[in-house]
Amino acid sequence: MRQPAIAMLLMLCACGGKDDPTEPEGDVVEEEADADADADADADADADADADVEPCTATVADLDPEDAEDDWFYLDTLSVEFDLRPEASVEFGLVDESGTELDIEVTWDQETYETAYIAAALTGNATYTLTARCANEATATFGTSPFGAPLESDVSSLVGRVYELDLPNATIAEPPGIGSLLGLFLQSPLLASVQEATEDSLTLLVAQGIWDDDGVPYQDLGTGTYPLPAADFTSAPYFSADTDLIEINYQSGSTDVDIPMHEMHIEGTFSPDGSMLGGAWIDGLLDTRNLGTLLSVVPGDDDDAICNYLEGSFEVPCEDCGTGDIYCLYLKAFFDDAPAIDGLVIDPDPLGTGG
């Protein structure tokens, strides 16, 4: 008679020894409540942030490059112009032809903040789409020129090529307003010869040239040459090189004057086939000491005659030439695309100095 009672007791113990699995514990209920509260708070914060965003009211007036432009230089900065200063909610985008978004860096015109400048890592022979959104949306799909595309041959194929840098017709961006004045004395082309080229470095030799009656340049054997130190060429086909000094010779009648340029910098990009040098420019400190006697409007022929004249007439002051002498003007000049001259070979020592 005792067996049924024992079995009943065991059943009661089994039922009372384990919680009902369908019944949540108190901690779980509290965690779910906390999660719901956090979600509500995040939603409220997002709504508040959206409410705080100031609507963009400026109109996109112009994009550069324009839509369908097909010869954009890959290193040039893109720009977006607005009719007034846009709010912080303005948006920009740049994608390649596959639709991949490119990283961009945006800077602004510091005077009006109505023009945005957009820098990005573009390549040659490629298509991109620039988008700007404010009160309206504007897009421009454009193509880049061949400059910036990989070289078609080994870099050693550049060795021996000579490129014509048309200095007399270069655009002088600095100093502002007096480019035409300085251009009176920069009347000869510069010839840049590739001496060595590897995957790591590029070595140039710069000489002064003369044009024949047909406009074909050849080396001026009455002037010296300037071997530039090896330049970094790891970003081929782009290069930039520097040298302490070159001298540009000016001749007119009996006048023969050397015009030193200190701390000269030159850069450019070779076309894929090596036949052209694009986006080339130079800058440096142009020494004015020998120019005073060349301008009839400048009183006197002292070393500082040009500096005194430019500061008094154009408010353009001279600066240190890097030697402590305050006789230099900062010069920056942009060249048109420079062709390689077939058959031209530069004599590295035309004056026979053995240097």
pLDDT of amino acid 184? 84
Contact 83, 112 (CB under 8 A): no
Instruction: Give the model's pLDDT for residue 181.
Output: 83
Please give the Cα distance from 232 to 174 (Å, whole number).
25
122 to 119, 126, 150, 269: CA distances (angstroms): 9, 8, 12, 13
In this prediction, residue 144 carries a pLDDT of: 98
Q: Are 308 and 176 in contact (CB under 8 A)?
A: no
Contacts of 257 (CB under 8 A, 6+ apart): 185, 249, 250, 251, 290, 291, 293, 294
Per-residue pLDDT, 4: 43
Q: What does the alpha-carbon distance between residue 23 and residue 4 come to, in Å, rounded to a whole number?
A: 31
Is 78:69 a contact under the CB 8 Å cutoff? no
Two structure tokens written together for 127: 């298509």
pLDDT of residue 11: 41
Q: How far is CA 155 from CA 106, 192, 206, 233, in A?
A: 34, 16, 19, 9
CB 204 within 8 A of CB 228: yes
| Structure token digits, residue 258 | 């050397």
**What secondary structure letter does DSSP report for 188?**
S
Tokens in use for 248? Answer: 């540009």
- Alpha helix stretches (DSSP H) within the chain: 2-16, 26-52, 179-183, 305-314
| Residue type at position 254 | S
Per-residue pLDDT 10s for the chain (355 aa) are 444 443 333 343 344 444 443 344 444 445 555 555 555 555 555 555 455 678 999 999 999 999 999 999 999 999 999 999 999 999 999 999 999 999 999 999 999 999 999 999 999 999 999 999 999 999 999 999 999 999 999 999 999 999 999 999 999 999 988 888 888 889 999 999 999 999 999 999 999 999 999 999 999 999 999 999 999 999 999 999 999 999 999 988 888 899 999 999 999 999 999 999 999 999 999 999 988 777 766 666 688 889 998 999 899 999 999 989 999 999 999 999 999 999 999 999 999 987 6
Question: Under DSSP, is residue 288 helix (H, G, I), strand (E, B) or coil?
Answer: coil
Measure the CA–CA gap between 68 and 50, rounded to whole angstroms: 35
Distance of alpha carbon 244 from alpha carbon 265, whole angstroms: 9
The number of beta carbons lying within 10 Å of the beta carbon of residue 268 is 25
- Residue 192 has a pLDDT of 98
Q: What pLDDT, on the 0 to 100 scale, is given for residue 111? A: 95
